[in-house]
């Protein structure tokens, strides 16, 4: 009889425990915002070299390297760190950048996407979205760490966009939700074109 009592009450105890823990989480304060990146507005953007994959002239995949310093004195750069290829938010963000890429080009700006995913994963992601700008791989996490956007717990780069002028100086930084929509970065680049 005691065994039947335990069998009947065990699910009730489990349900009560789950309900209590859910209620406690619901009343807990909202998660703290992510820490700001270590690279700030007005500072020189750290130079980097990162790989991407493109189709070679022979129709075979070819690894290429992009360096931030290659654009110095020539173009503004929007460096958009995103957490993970193929995730819903990142898919939406990179698709919006592709939609507005012509406007960035008009403002003398190159778009560089960047994640800690492999070069192959980023190439497949870009292909799926029809993205024409380069999505770079920071598989070593060194670039994300140098900009202060690497999340050591989540093991991804936090969504952060840096608008870097043609002199290599960070002019604007957009984080989290604000970085999902490229219009803020586009406005900053339009202002840079006017100043030039």
In whole angstroms, give the CA distance from residue 147 to residue 81.
10
Query: Dihedral of CA 182/185/187/190: which sign?
Result: negative
Q: Give catalytic status of residue 189 as yes or no.
A: no
**DSSP letter string, 148-195:** T-EETTTTEE--EEEEE-TTSBEEEEEEHHHHHSTHHHHHHHHHHHHH
Supply the DSSP symbol for 3: H
Catalytic residue among 90, 112, 123, 164: 90
In whole angstroms, give the CA distance from residue 191 to residue 196.
9
Catalytic residue numbers read 90
């Amino acid at each position: 009889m005691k065994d039947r009592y335990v069998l009947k009450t065990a699910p009730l105890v489990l349900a009560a425990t789950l309900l209590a823990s859910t209620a406690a989480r619901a009343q807990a304060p909202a998660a703290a915002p992510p820490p700001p990146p270590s690279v700030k507005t007005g500072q020189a953007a750290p130079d980097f070299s990162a790989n991407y994959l493109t189709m070679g002239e022979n129709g075979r995949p070819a690894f290429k390297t992009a360096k931030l310093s290659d654009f110095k004195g020539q173009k503004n750069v929007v460096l958009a760190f995103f957490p993970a290829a193929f995730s819903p938010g990142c898919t939406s963000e990179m698709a919006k950048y592709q939609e507005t890429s012509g406007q960035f080009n008009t403002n003398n700006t190159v778009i560089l996407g960047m994640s800690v995913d492999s070069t192959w994963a980023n190439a497949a992601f870009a292909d799926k979205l029809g993205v024409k700008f380069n999505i770079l791989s920071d598989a070593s996490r060194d670039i994300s760490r140098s900009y202060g956007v690497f999340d050591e717990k989540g093991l991804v780069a936090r969504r952060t966009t840096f608008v870097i002028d043609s002199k290599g100086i960070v002019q604007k930084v957009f984080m989290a939700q604000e970085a999902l929509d490229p219009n803020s970065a586009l406005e900053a680049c339009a202002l840079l074109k006017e100043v030039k």
